[in-house]
Amino acid sequence: MRLVLTGNYAAAYAAKAAKVEVVSAYPITPQTQVVEKLSEFIERGEMNARYIRVESEHSAMAACIGAAMAGARVFTATSAHGLIYMSEMLWWAAGARLPIVMGVITRAMAPPWSIWSDHCDLLSLRDIGWIIYFCENAQEVFDTIIQAYKVAENEEVLLPAMVGWDAFQTSHTAEPVDVLSPDEVSKYLPPRRPLPYVIDFERPFTHGSLCYPDRYMEFRYLMDLSMSKAKKAIVEADEEYGDLFGRKYGGVLEKYLCEDAEIAVVTMGVLSGDARYAVDILRKEGYKVGLVRLRVVRPFPSSELKKELKSKKLVCVIDRNISIGRGGILGTEIKALLKNSSANVVNVVAGIGGRDVSYEDIVNIVKRSLDLVEKGEVPEYMWYSIDKEYVVKAVGEYYEPPAL
């Protein structure tokens, strides 16, 4: 069935198609339509599910944990401050190995208040044991949420999954979306199997008790092991989805015109569409450019990225996030991957707090990056589109991260 849906409505339809049994959520802009639509589905009886209208995001994730512990398939969604407020419980969900799926509509953190997209909220939680997907458009949001259940519930994996998409540009932009029915999806995603770590009165167990240093480390090791297995599960889940429903996304990476490319642009999320268009323009001008779009941040696609990027002349990583004092988070990870290769990595921080990054900007970023590489002046990272006049007026100087 083809419907015109925003990214947020596509997410609600996906949760419905996945036969989610418990939704627990707290409202925050720009997540609200996800949970409004789910309330409608549940109250109209279109979903056999309970909606727990909690009093905070901390409780939203706690209720998801409780419901998942009792064997239910659960869903929630949040953004920015809500995500950070629930972060303690995100650790608990991952450590408890519960296959919870959560939509994260990325939004900049305050102060100052902002409701527009950047990826600092989601990427600040990359180290806690959640699988992290990131989508480019509403169709991918729909498809990825369903795939995420398949991966999270895989018994080799048993880790929760966040599915990210950008505030407004994806969350509130209506697009045609192919929506699968719960019956169609049940061919792909069977009901959640109750074992292990599910409350059972016949087989009682204690979960999460005190663990001494002689054992705790193995629990963390086992999470890391499962996360490494998640990569194969993600690729297989994408392949199987493609075989059944005709859409797939390249597993962990999507590549565009990469085969003969000397320059690779690396992006994530909604600005990848502009980046693809920029690649077309640059190609017409004679640049051998390709695009690598990260679809999964955890598990990090290290070997796939290294294989793709190591022999490029220029790898231009556009980060819609900033690790203050270090640079872009993806750029930092990719630089570490490519440290022994001939590839020059230029890390550009752009689009923070919802600032628009157009295809012209990306053309400009690639040309400037190429120029820096040719001059041998590659900086540790660079900020794109900073209003220097404003900065100088405010603090008397403009700071440029130093060349490496």
Specify the 3-state DSSP secondary structure of 393.
helix
Which range of residues in 176-184, 200-208, 232-240, 347-355 is near other proteins by CB under 8 A? 200-208
Which region, left, alpha or beta, applies to residue 193 given φ > 0 means left and ψ of -120 to 50 means alpha?
Answer: beta
User: In the complex, what is the shortest distance from the CB of residue 203 to other proteins, in angstroms, rounded to a whole number?
Assistant: 9
Among 20, 47, 67, 345, indicate the residue that binds other proteins (CB under 8 A): 67
Interaction residues for other proteins, span 83-102 (CB under 8 A)? 88-89, 92
Q: Rounded to an integer, what distance in angstroms lies between the CA atom of residue 248 and that of residue 240?
A: 9
Interaction residues for other proteins, span 27-66 (CB under 8 A)? 48-50, 52-56, 58-60, 62-66
CA distances from 247 to 58, 220, 237, 321 (A): 35, 34, 11, 29
- Total binding residues for other proteins by CB under 8 A? 42
Among 14, 25, 28, 68, indicate the residue that binds other proteins (CB under 8 A): 68
Q: Which residue's structure tokens are 């059972």? A: 200
Longest Cα separation, the chain: 70
Which range of residues in 71-79, 230-238, 252-260, 320-328 is near other proteins by CB under 8 A? 71-79
Interaction residues for other proteins, span 213-272 (CB under 8 A)? 215
Q: Which residue's structure tokens are 């100087």? A: 397
User: In the complex, what is the shortest distance from the CB of residue 50 to other proteins, in angstroms, rounded to a whole number?
Assistant: 4
Q: Is residue 22 a contact point for other proteins (CB under 8 A)?
A: yes
Q: Is residue 71 a contact point for other proteins (CB under 8 A)?
A: yes
Which range of residues in 202-210, 225-233, 348-356, 387-395 is near other proteins by CB under 8 A? 202-210
CA distances from 212 to 197, 209, 215, 219, 296 (A): 20, 10, 6, 11, 33
* DSSP annotation of 352: G
- Bridge-based pairing state of the strands 314-319 and 263-267: parallel
- The residues that touch other proteins, with contacts defined as CB under 8 A, are 21-22, 24, 48-50, 52-56, 58-60, 62-72, 74, 88-89, 92, 199-201, 204-212, 215
